[in-house]
């Protein structure tokens, strides 16, 4: 009985994995998941919640600086601590995507791409309700000489989706 159960579970896992592999190539770009424009119109100050920093401290510094620039360009004031209108957090990861539709090489390998994902949240500081959540998935070069420009471009593209101030 236990062997049959394990076999069934493995079949379900493999079937699910094959469905994911056949789903096609990953779509890259900016995805806005939450926007609460009326609440964002009232926001003036922010603080960072550094609980989800990148493991690479240089990358963390670059991400925070890029987000700070974008928020400052929208009239936000950064507070080092204390009560603010919103709390800013981010999460990042890098992964490798494989093009399953491409023809395998002579060794059976398929093209692989380094991909960076960045998620930025602006949450109400009182109840932690997310007011703006934006995600970027993009192919990246893992070259330390160009990663700063890559992060700056990604964060600029993300905040291009930030809602424009409402006309009064």
Indicate which CATH number applies to the domain containing 70: 3.30.160.670
User: Where in the chain does DSSP place strands (E)?
Assistant: 29-35, 45-48, 77-78, 86-98, 112-124, 130-139
Confirm whether 118 is domain-assigned. yes
Range of the domain at 91: 25-159
Confirm whether 80 is domain-assigned. yes
Q: Tell me the pTM.
A: 0.79
Q: Is 89 helix (H, G, I), strand (E, B) or coil?
A: strand
Q: Structural domain tally of the chain?
A: 1
Confirm whether 32 is domain-assigned. yes
Confirm whether 20 is domain-assigned. no
Q: Is 27 helix (H, G, I), strand (E, B) or coil?
A: coil
Confirm whether 14 is domain-assigned. no
Q: Characterise 135 by phi-psi region: left (phi > 0), alpha (psi -120 to 50), beta (else).
A: beta
Residue by residue, pLDDT tens for the chain (168 residues) are 444 433 433 333 333 433 344 345 568 999 998 889 999 999 999 999 977 788 889 999 999 999 999 999 999 999 998 899 999 999 999 999 999 999 999 999 999 999 999 999 999 999 999 999 999 999 998 888 999 999 999 999 999 999 977 554
Confirm whether 94 is domain-assigned. yes
Confirm whether 7 is domain-assigned. no
- Of 98, 85, 77, nearest to 128 (Cα)? 85
Confirm whether 19 is domain-assigned. no
């Amino acid at each position: 009985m236990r062997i049959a159960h394990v076999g069934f579970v493995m079949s379900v896992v493999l079937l699910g994995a094959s469905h994911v592999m056949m789903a096609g190539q990953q779509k890259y770009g900016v995805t806005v998941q939450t926007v609460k424009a009326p609440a964002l119109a009232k926001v003036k100050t922010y603080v960072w919640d550094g609980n989800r920093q990148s493991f690479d401290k240089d990358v963390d510094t670059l991400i925070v600086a890029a987000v700070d620039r974008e928020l400052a360009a929208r009239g936000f004031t950064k507070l080092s601590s204390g009560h603010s209108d919103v709390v800013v957090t981010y999460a990042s990861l890098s992964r490798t995507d494989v093009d399953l539709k491409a023809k395998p090489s002579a060794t059976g390998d398929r093209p692989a791409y380094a991909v960076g994902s960045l998620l930025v949240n602006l949450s109400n500081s009182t109840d932690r309700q997310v007011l703006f959540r934006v995600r970027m998935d993009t192919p990246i070069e893992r070259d330390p000489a160009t990663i700063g420009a890559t992060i700056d471009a990604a964060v600029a593209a993300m905040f291009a989706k930030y809602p424009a101030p409402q006309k009064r």
